[in-house]
Copies of this chain bind each other. A is one copy, B any other.
């Protein structure tokens, strides 16, 4: 509600090789400072100093502090989304629900492994002005889920609601694990459990016949 968002589009594309290196150094330094000192300690001077470039060079490529972080997020997301691509393809093929969920959960976990600390700062500290507009909106994600789930979630009374719950839950559990209990990401039981959580939520009954209704065995 507060301050108007300043323009964050990069100022000038580096064309020479040297300049590309400069921009990379700046962004790498920015990531470091952001993780190390948080948004409050993220000052352009610090970034420039750490990058070993003059502060004015920084401003030749980024119009302001926010733009730096936005570009950082853009690149982070680009890297993170790689695994999600494959999962989305699987979803389109519509195998069984547990199989689909497993793919997505694993993609989400992979996503969170990329740079968990950076991810944490992005989600937990940035003011609105420094948040990158997401390339895919939550609403779009939910619509996508609705289409995918439609054949499977016959027993779900409100599909839109379920899509919302699904999106939030999926992300929250993995995000929190990545931030607070990173070791969980490596345990197969964790992934299994998340799949179970979502699978049972969506396919409400008749419940899996057998005692250990794991997604794996379904």
Contacts and interface: CB of A to CB of B under 8 A. Distances in A.
Contacts of A168: 172-173, 176-177
Contacts of A211: 155, 205
A218 B161 contact: no
A24 interface: no
A201 B196 contact: yes
A124 interface: yes
B165 A194 contact: yes
A208 B216 CA distance: 20
Given A193-B161, A206-B208, A218-B96, A2 B41 contact: yes
B213 A3 contact: no
A83 to B, nearest CB: 17
A213 B201 CA distance: 10
B190 A213 contact: no
Interface string A148-176: 00000001011001101100110111001
Interface stretch (A15-23, A32-40, A67-75, A107-115): A32-40
Contacts of A218: 96-99, 199
A210 B162 CA distance: 20
Interface residues of A, number: 68
Nearest to A39: B127
A196 B215 contact: yes
B128 A3 contact: no
A78 interface: no
Given A165-B197, A196-B214, A200-B201, 13 more contacts: A2-B41, A40-B127, A98-B214, A124-B124, A125-B126, A161-B190, A165-B173, A171-B172, A197-B201, A199-B215, A205-B208, A205-B210, A207-B208
27 contacts: A2-B37, A3-B38, A38-B127, A40-B127, A97-B218, A101-B215, A102-B216, A124-B124, A125-B127, A155-B212, A155-B213, A161-B193, A169-B197, A172-B176, A192-B215, A192-B216, A195-B215, A196-B204, A196-B213, A196-B214, A197-B197, A199-B213, A200-B200, A200-B207, A204-B208, A204-B212, A205-B208
